[in-house]
Amino acid sequence: MKFSTLAGTVGGAYAITRDISVSLGIRYIDAIKTYKGSGSFDLYSGNVLLVPDITMDLDVEDTADGFGGIIGIDYMPVESINLAVRYETQTDLKWTSDVKTQDLASSLAGDSLNIFTDGGKSESNLPALLAFGVHYQINPKFYTTTSLNYYFIKQADKGDDSDDAPLTEGYNDNYDNGWEVGVGLGYKWRPDLEVSIGYLHSDLGGNSKTYTDFETALDADTIGLGAKYTPVKDLDITFAFGNVFYSEGSKELLDGVEVFNKHVYAFGFGIQYRFNTVP
């Protein structure tokens, strides 16, 4: 399975006082989930071969898009400390399946054991997020950051967990709400360039009751590197790279244990322009 998103955010911030500012934004997300694979296997009952050479080919693309809101508050109690709270609303995502190939043939009954329906609809929403952050300026060159994110996954589950579509209707009810905690260290290399390194631990609510071949929310640890370049006043260009190390997950099957694991590299790019600043 391959999952990709294209997101765009438009927003602004307003300084109520020199110490407090508020922000508001709208984000658009265009998401694609691709399921592609092929294989062959034999079907046994005990030591008896029932069906040889069962073949499987799958090529399905699910697409969805939606809008969400972002609200933030920043407070600077002293010159060296900045406190931030951000809330992102749930983004409703209505998925549509485009089945290019789906052939799981069995000569046992002459049927296809199909999971996806061409043009089928499903709902799997991006959950709301509540985030807290602290920025501490140690000296003019170095700063540290800490963050805590909480994901309202149970609230986002609006799908119908029916037997007809066990893998495409909403979240599995056994999901827990998720959370992340992170720390970072930044260094101002020169007036127009900052570099940073950070660590993030993620627990996204998955467990042995939710793992499938199509959806696996594993715990993860991420190491990230970043840079912010300010070519002119009020314009920031950011670059980021992350290496995500996932914890292995497993679930019990009738004839053994299925193990889940993956490794992800992440890249980020952003541009921010401030139209007005407090003197």
**H-helix segments, 121-245:** 153-156
Q: Looking at the predicted structure, is the pLDDT value of residue 165 above 60?
A: no
Would you call 188 exposed, middle or buried from its count of C-beta atoms within 10 A (0-12, 13-18, 19+)?
middle
Query: Tokens at residue 110, please?
Result: 């002459």
Q: Report the alpha-carbon distance of residue 251 to residue 95 in Å, rounded.
A: 27
Contacts of 54 (CB under 8 A, 6+ apart): 40, 41, 42, 43, 104, 105, 106, 107
Phi, psi angles (nearest 5°) of residue 6: -120, 120
Q: What is the mean pLDDT of residues 14-18?
A: 93
Residues 77-91 have pLDDT tens digits of 999 999 999 999 999
pLDDT at 190: 93
Whether 162 shows a pLDDT value over 60: the answer reads: no
Question: Do the bridges between strand 142-152 and strand 235-246 make them parallel or antiparallel, or are there none, so unpaired?
Answer: unpaired
Whole-angstrom Cα distance, residue 183 to residue 39? 43
Domains detected in the chain: 2-36+66-97+120-273 (2.40.160.60)
pLDDT digits (tens, 9 = 90+) for 93-146: 988 989 888 775 544 444 455 677 888 888 888 899 999 999 999 999 999 999
Nearest to 263 by CA among 245, 247, 250: 245
C-alpha closest to that of 251 among 180, 177, 174, 176: 174
HSE (CB half, 13 Å, CA atoms) of 97? 24
Closest CA to 100 of 172, 38, 51, 180: 38
